[in-house]
Homo-oligomer: A and B are copies of this chain.
Amino acid sequence: MVKVVIFGASGYTGQELTRILLGHPEAELIAVTSRRFAGRPVAEVFPALYGLTSLKYQNATPKEVAEASDVVFLALPHGVSMDIAPVFIQAGKKVIDLSADYRLRDVKTHEAWYGKHSSDKILKNAVYGIPEIYRQEIKKAALIANPGCYPTSIILGLAPALKNKLIDVSSIIADSASGASGAGREPQTGSLFCEVDGGFKAYKIGEHRHTPEIEQELNLLAGEKFPISFTPHLLPVKRGILSTIYATLKKDIDLQQIYAFYSSFYAKEKFVRVYPVGNTYPNISSVCGSNYCDIGLAIDSRTKRVIIIAALDNLIKGAAGQAVQNMNVVCGFAEHAGLQNIPLYP
């Protein structure tokens, strides 16, 4: 059993990590930290966990935590992880960072979108944690930068098309929608039930901070530089992201052929399900509660566009589940250990 710590465990991502790790066959969750809830039992803050853990939130320093642990998950706000991660790296621990601090390889890009970076040396050795794409690199990584929720859906949705040069990269538009848990558990007016329920809206059009992360990975997959259009929307659901991705086809290719590229690309992947042609399209309610990313494909023959739908649970494959999948890879466990929950439907 590896000994695991979650730093910043009182948000929705931290709670989801807690939930998954409590059921993980190879990991023992030995400590969770939270300044806000320091001293309080986890099960009091999240009654869903009542009877499942006697852990209390600690207000511990990284050093105190580092000693006893093998793997550390950082579920902290952007800008905080980078001050803490070096402590664990130096202590020889595996670090899986769920913030954006180590996702952008280029310091300048990071600083343009997020502000000053304080540990850019570590940044150079960080591995972007989508196992379906970087499995070999993750195995040897000291620090894994766990991807953003929107980027995971869009990157997995486009990888086979880009690798196989099927689409005109200048035409890519990603129209995405996320459940409210993506905004975190901090009280704010825009996340209130009365503001979200019955509503639907776009936000941060053309300026969401996941944009450079998406572009970085799509550019690497395509082997060329290009920008994309990305529009996030807020959905009145708790969990789930659905990305509807548009691109112009470069070749005269039919849907069955595209499906063949996709199913071949993901043939050995446990957590990516490519829907057969003619089936229904992915629905976030068919992935919620699981680590799946479901992908559906359509062609609009009148406009020569392919439309790719990618759906995942933003707290699992979009955050905590993918983080645990990364832990499994880096620790040499079965990649699906602790992640076999079947989507909770309805």
> Which of A133-141, A144-152, A154-162, A283-291 makes up part of the contact surface?
A283-291
**Nearest B-chain residue to A345, judged by Cβ:** B48
Are A48 and B309 interface neighbours, CB within 8 A? no
Residues of B within 8 A of A303 (CB): 206, 227-229
A265 at the interface (CB under 8 A from B): no
A44 at the interface (CB under 8 A from B): yes
A279 vs B280: C-alpha distance when bound (angstroms): 37
* 12 chain-A/chain-B pairs, Cβ below 8 angstroms: A15-B346, A23-B341, A173-B173, A173-B246, A185-B194, A192-B193, A193-B197, A200-B235, A201-B283, A203-B281, A205-B300, A231-B244
For A291-303 the 0/1 string (1 means CB < 8 A from B) is 0001010111111
Per a CB cutoff under 8 Å, which of B283, B285, B301, B345 touches A206? B301
Q: Which residues of A contact B (CB under 8 A)?
A: 12, 15, 19, 22-23, 44, 46-52, 173, 175, 177, 179-181, 185, 187-189, 191-203, 205-206, 227-229, 231, 233, 235-240, 242, 244, 246, 273, 275, 279-290, 294, 296, 298-303, 305, 307, 309, 311, 340-346
A194 vs B236: C-alpha distance when bound (angstroms): 9
Are B206 and A298 interface neighbours, CB within 8 A? yes
Are A231 and B342 interface neighbours, CB within 8 A? no
A299 vs B180: C-alpha distance when bound (angstroms): 25
Also in contact, A192 and B194, with CB within 8 A (given A50-B275, A200-B237, A201-B281)? no
